[in-house]
Structure 1
Amino acid sequence: MAAGLDAAAINDAVAPPGKLPGRHQVSASIAKLEILLDRAHFSPGEIDGQLGENAQKALTAFAGANGLSFDKAVTPDLWSRLAAASEGAVIVKYTIADADVKGPFLKQVPAKMESMKDLPALNYTGPREALAEKFHMSEALLQALNPGQKFDKAGDSIAVANVIDAGGSAPVARVEVDKTRQTLSTFDAAGKLIAFYPATVGSTEKPTPSGTLKVTAINKDPTYRYNPKYKFKGVKSKRPFTIKPGPNNPVGSIWINLSAEGYGIHGTPEPGKVSKAVSHGCVRLTNWDAQRVAAGVAKGTPVTFVESSR
């Protein structure tokens, strides 16, 4: 993490001049950019202060939706439009609540699905993970903003991304999943783009379907049922098994069921890997992005899968 990265540096940051920082370079201006994008419902995925592929996707989409362009530099017009899309400091103080630290927590999430089936719940591994996800941040960025903090004491004040009151989800008339770009977009009844998210869409062993499906159900805190016919790599079980709910469940904290057996839009236990690792055929979002999508769709909402040229 960049030295001197604190709340004041991020709140006071201005548009990065000229060429943007490298993909793995952490900067206050990029952290602010990501928070502004998240608040405008153009998700950069996990807010980590780095201009990764997901943040660039969100910037491109936001620019296009506002009649602007993004090509390796953030223009003054683009920065001002982003800044005008929401109000308030991007980093704020938050008082750790009893609920944030009471658990129960897992010591660690098992690497193999079979090892998950006997656990009573797939909870967070600790309050730092829970708080990072609550504020859409990477654990590394949360820790960098709060050096020495163990996040285990209710009443402590910490610095977090100001994303909780980013506005409700507008009613979604149509969802579009771009299998090539690995993104999910939602549109209103007039065809206007209202939200944009990075996604992990399918895999070689189980590709995501084509055409248009429909939302058939929305399940919060879903269980995950493994079917041996899926033949997922690394899973040896010949019998079905069920994994209990929790944010570290293989499908995260939300499941939006689609009208093709075994397919859905869902959360993930590893937000930092969204659009960077394959899914088992479904559409994987961060837990918080999946919750935003779920808040806007309803039973019958069409979900169209498209393939675009890059």
Structure 2
Amino acid sequence: MVMFLLSSRPSLVSRLLAISLCCTALGLAGGAALAQTAKAGAKTSATAGFDMDAFNNASDSPLLKSGSKGPAVARAQILMDRAWFSCGEIDGRYAANMQRMVKAFQTARGLKVTGTVTAETWKSLREDSAPLLATYTVTEKDTAGPFEKTPADMAERAKMKALVFESADEALAEKFHTSIAYLKQLNGGRKVDAGKDIVVPNVGSATAPVKAASIEIDKSQRVLYVLDAEKRPVAAFPISIGNEKNDPLPVGMMAIKNEVKNPGFTYNPKLLKNAPKDAQKVDVAPGPNNPVGSIWLGLTKPHWGIHGTSNPSNVGHSETNGCIHLTNWDAERLSTLVKAGFKVDVKL
């Protein structure tokens, strides 16, 4: 099993162990803040030639399936994100994560489970009638930085005072649960400047589930479910997990042990099977691009935890060297639902 040592900020007493090889945390503004600054349903488009009203007011219910792409897919992704059945990045593409999460949503809503967005699924999703896109005024804070490239070498990362965002584009994409490429597409590739309005997915109006009681992880589907007391799913997120040869996620019952916000990270090459021979043990400072994310949920099985990743586009598609990786915004949302003592049942 691959293991890393996780260290909290000086004010935190405990030092934890984490499992991860390639994971970076990116911050997320809370839904309330987004709701205050994103102007849902604004009539004036932030981008010349883009009709936000047409996107928001579309009422068609096309059958969406693997390989589908375009505005209808993005609309479904936003609605699913707000229902707490995340597809990962909102990007207008119907890939494996979306198929998995559509099945999860259909199961939770008592619909026919097809893995495709059917007319029945559209009807259930559209019980949420809030606008799907909004305009957001970029703030001075959004563009002030500091921004700095994250080195690939862990020793170089250890020299940084904080693992900051690489760009304002990255920070804003994380804030609105989308890919950098899709955010640019919505805005015609315009440069992000303070004081300017941009078009963003309206993800700030989602209401969190209130009956969370436990977690179930489906290894084969790479889905983390949040269940209520009757074992019914109230939320679900795509995940990446360790592969079966090197660091398989153990099947069976665990529990949430603790939570560390904005953790530091200790890289120990002796605990890695494929670390460079000359790699040294180093401590990496906290920050949005920290290797273990902005939230660490420790498990009762030693050295295992749930946290974010450096590449949200990889979640659900790539294998890790251990732990349970979510996009950073989903890891943060999960942390608002769970608490110490929550059972975590890992199933094949």
Q: TM-score, normalised by structure 1?
A: 0.90
1:241 equivalent in structure 2: 282
1:176 and 1:184 in contact (8 A); partners too: yes
- CA drift of 1:22 comes to 5.4
Does residue 83 (structure 1) correspond to residue 123 (structure 2)? The answer is no
- CA drift of 1:68 comes to 1.3
Task: Tell me the amino acid that sits aligned with residue 57 of structure 2.
Answer: D
SS in structure 1 at match of 2:235: strand
Does residue 262 (structure 1) correspond to residue 307 (structure 2)? The answer is no
Does residue 36 (structure 1) correspond to residue 79 (structure 2)? The answer is yes
CA distance in 1, matches of 2:98, 2:51: 20
Task: Tell me the amino acid that sits aligned with residue 64 of structure 1.
Answer: T
2:320 equivalent in structure 1: 279
- Note closer, same or farther for the CA distance 1:187–1:72 as it changes in structure 2 (3 Å cut): closer
CA RMSD of aligned residues (A): 2.0
| Greater RCO, CA 8 A, separation 6+ | 2
How many residues are matched? 299
- Note closer, same or farther for the CA distance 1:83–1:148 as it changes in structure 2 (3 Å cut): same
Does residue 194 (structure 1) correspond to residue 194 (structure 2)? The answer is no
2:154 and 2:282 in contact (8 A); partners too: no
Task: Tell me the amino acid that sits aligned with residue 188 of structure 2.
Answer: P
- Note closer, same or farther for the CA distance 1:237–1:258 as it changes in structure 2 (3 Å cut): farther
CA distance in 2, matches of 1:7, 1:110: 38
Q: Which residue, out of 92, 108, 131, partners 2:172?
A: 131
2:3 equivalent in structure 1: none
CA distance in 2, matches of 1:6, 1:220: 39
SS in structure 2 at match of 1:190: coil
Task: Tell me the amino acid that sits aligned with residue 202 of structure 1.
Answer: G
- CA drift of 1:99 comes to 1.8
- Of the structure 1 ranges 177-186 and 127-136, higher mean CA displacement relative to structure 2 is found in 177-186
CA distance in 1, matches of 2:157, 2:174: 21
Does residue 179 (structure 1) correspond to residue 204 (structure 2)? The answer is no
SS in structure 2 at match of 1:44: coil
2:10 equivalent in structure 1: none
2:31 equivalent in structure 1: none
Question: Residue by residue, what CA displacement relative to the aligned partner does 1:85-110 show, whole Å, maximum 9, x if unpaired?
Answer: x231100011112221111111x222
SS in structure 2 at match of 1:38: helix
SS in structure 2 at match of 1:200: coil
2:240 and 2:320 in contact (8 A); partners too: yes
CA distance in 2, matches of 1:241, 1:284: 22
CA distance in 2, matches of 1:225, 1:235: 16
1:253 and 1:268 in contact (8 A); partners too: no
2:254 equivalent in structure 1: 213
Does residue 92 (structure 1) correspond to residue 134 (structure 2)? The answer is yes
Question: Residue by residue, what CA displacement relative to the aligned partner does 1:22-61 show, whole Å, maximum 9, x if unpaired?
Answer: 53x5300000000000000000011000001111111111
* Structure 2: gaps of 5 or more residues: 1-48
SS in structure 1 at match of 2:254: strand
Q: How does 1:48-197 map to 2 (within 5 A)?
A: 48-71=91-114, 73-84=116-127, 86-106=128-148, 108-151=149-192, 153-197=193-237
SS in structure 1 at match of 2:221: coil
Does residue 302 (structure 1) correspond to residue 343 (structure 2)? The answer is yes
Question: Residue by residue, what CA displacement relative to the aligned partner does 1:224-244 show, whole Å, maximum 9, x if unpaired?
Answer: 222334314344455432211
